[in-house]
Amino acid sequence: MAILLNPYLAFRDNAREAMEFYQSVFGGELTSSTFGEAMVGGDPAEQDKVMHAMLTTGSGLVLMASDTPAGMDYTPGGSISISLSGDHGDEAELRGYWDKLSDGGTVAMPLDKAPWGDTFGMCTDKFGISWLVNISAPA
């Protein structure tokens, strides 16, 4: 699998509606999971919000999005993160990117084993750009 650079959009509470719209525009396959499906506990009022959605088109376009929990900052227009994803064979390269991006920045979630089995981390680089790094677990 090649390393991918994907836009990741944040919404307050309408990610599902937005991603269904983007699917109507671009076609492709849309997958999503809610906070309730992916995590134990949390705010019951947010269980149906989208934790992660991904639209993948036949032409290779990939768009990701999520809803923003009430406890997290949400600023429209400043709600884009960049996601780097790859499989376990790309781990060294992705960890290298992570090390450089997080150096001098702020780590929101360390690059570590995630509840869904992959290795995942979130940081904001020294220029204020948010990055998500996901390394798929071996099959």
- Domain residues of the chain, as ranges? 4-135
74 in Cβ contact with 64 (< 8 Å) = no
CA angle 23/27/33 to nearest 5° reads 45
**pLDDT score of 64:** 94
**pLDDT score of 93:** 92
Q: How far is CA 100 from CA 39, 93, 105, 124, in A?
A: 29, 11, 9, 11
Q: What is the pLDDT of residues 82-119, one digit of tens each?
A: 999 999 999 999 999 999 999 999 999 999 999 899 99
Per-block mean pLDDT, blocks of 10 residues, the chain (139 long): 85 94 94 86 87 92 92 79 91 95 95 94 90 93
Please determine, looking at this structure, whether the domain spanning 4-135 carries the CATH number 3.30.1360.170.
no
